[in-house]
Amino acid sequence: MNEAETIRYHAAHDGRPAELDLLDQTKLPGTLTRLVCTTIDQTHDAIQRLVVRGAPAIGIAAAYGVTLTPVDAYASASLPEVQARYRQTIDHLATSRPTAVNLFWALDRMRAIVDGFAGEVAELREQLVTEAIRIHDDDRQMCRSIGRNGATLLAHCKSVMTHCNAGSLATSMWGTALAPMYHLHESGHTLEVFADETRPLLQGARLTAWELHQAGIPVTVCTDSMSGSLMRQGRVDAVIVGADRIAANGDVANKIGTYPLAVLAKYHNIPFYVAAPTNTFDAELESGDLIPIEQRNADEVSYPCGADSPRHTPEGVTVVNPAFDVTPAELVTAVITEKGVISGPDTTKVRAHLDA
């Protein structure tokens, strides 16, 4: 088993509790260490601290987190009492982060198992474990398909730019935005990748650069402020990023800094692609203006190297730290999903794609 596998799960057995075993992404690239969660609160904290992160990955982790509900203490409880306990867990995990719709999509799948269950109490947890494993396996297939579908769009490129991390570390494996790079690399066409460092948490410099380098794909880290100049110098053939939530009209919420990248790509007439599974679409939201944007602790900006490092902003000065921004659909050349490609996304095309 790959020691760098983002998410592992060990079901309860022989009196040992179930374990959600996470690669601790807050420690990368310097240290490869894992964090094992056996409780709901540990899972909630791991998602909130970005130990596990990335829209699909936090959905998978939350699904496994539901199975950590301590129902053994309810051995004599009735089915309705146990179902209520699982619903409490689902509601609590739903408060861990607000923007990535995959979290709520995965929790809704787990809730459907709880609500639809009518057997023996002891069997409910087994059905929840099965559903969480299915969510994990489904994501592997979706990422593989996104890689195949995205490769057709990048096949003519020599170099691409990406932002944040939408690779294996953000999903079950392969990723969304990075999946086409892995697919092309496997078929002998290795792209040169510019990885935006992605302030303030540096997912690009710390995570994308790490996983692509491990895979033997040439990657160059650039600061977010370098992107425009690299495009102007003709060194970027395409931009491809992930997504945390896509509204019905094709507006895309993704890591902060994605919107200015899309504006720069438009100005330089460079294709701007978004790669995401269809469970990243929120068809209930008419536009991206309605997507909830996570506001994170200002200390992540003031102390970019951690709380014990020198402060980078003067005491008393206001600091803002929205974790995501929204890119209007008109700046998106195409959205790549496991089902295919939506070129020039708009409400009609998005709904047709989702319904196909």
**Where on the chain is the footprint of ligand LNRAV4D5 (CB under 6 A)?**
53-56, 164, 166, 170-171, 175-176, 203, 241-242, 244, 254-255, 323
Supply the angle between the helices 179-186 and 121-154 in degrees, to the nearest 10: 70
For the record, the structure tokens of 99 come out as 């923007």
Dist. CA 138–CA 141, nearest whole Å: 5
CB closer to ligand LNRAV4D5 out of 115 and 289:
289
**CA 108/CA 150 separation, integer angstroms:** 28
Task: Give the nearest distance from C-beta 53 to ligand LNRAV4D5 in angstroms.
Answer: 4
CB of 6 to ligand LNRAV4D5, least distance (A): 11
What type of residue sits at position 310?
Answer: P
Which residue's CB is nearer to ligand LNRAV4D5, number 53 or number 353? Answer: 53
> Which of 196, 244, 251, 325 is labelled catalytic?
244
**Read out DSSP for 155-185?**
TT-SEEEE-S--SGGGSSSS-SSSHHHHHHH
β-partners of residue 9 are 20
Does residue 203 have a known ligand-binding role? yes
**97 annotated as a binding-site residue:** yes
Provide, rounded to whole angstroms, the least separation between the CB of residue 28 and ligand LNRAV4D5.
Answer: 12
Least separation, in Å, of the C-beta of 148 and ligand LNRAV4D5?
16
Distance between CA atoms of 273 and 332, rounded to whole angstroms?
6
CB 326 within 8 A of CB 251: yes
CB closer to ligand LNRAV4D5 out of 19 and 294 = 294
Helix (H, G, I), strand (E, B) or coil at 313: coil
In angstroms, rounded to a whole number, what is the distance separating the alpha carbons of residues 21 and 161? 31
Give the residue at shortest CB distance from ligand LNRAV4D5: 242
State yes or no: 118 annotated in a binding site: no
> Is 349 annotated in some ligand binding site?
no
By the 10 Å C-beta count (0-12 exposed, 13-18 middle, 19+ buried), 116 is classed as: exposed
Rounded CA-CA distance 8/244 in Å is 22
Report residue 217 CA to chain centroid gap: 21
CB of residue 347 to ligand LNRAV4D5, shortest distance in Å:
22
Nearer to ligand LNRAV4D5, 197 or 244 (CB): 244
307 is in an annotated binding site: no
Would the annotation count 233 as a binding residue? no
- 356/351 Cα distance (integer angstroms): 8
Measured from the CB atom, the residue of 54 and 83 that comes closer to ligand LNRAV4D5 is: 54
CA-to-CA distance for 142 and 99, rounded, in angstroms?
20
Q: Is 244 a catalytic residue?
A: yes
Residues serving a catalytic function are 244
**Binding-site entries for substrate:** 53-55, 97, 203, 254-255
**Binding-site entries:** 53-55, 97, 203, 254-255
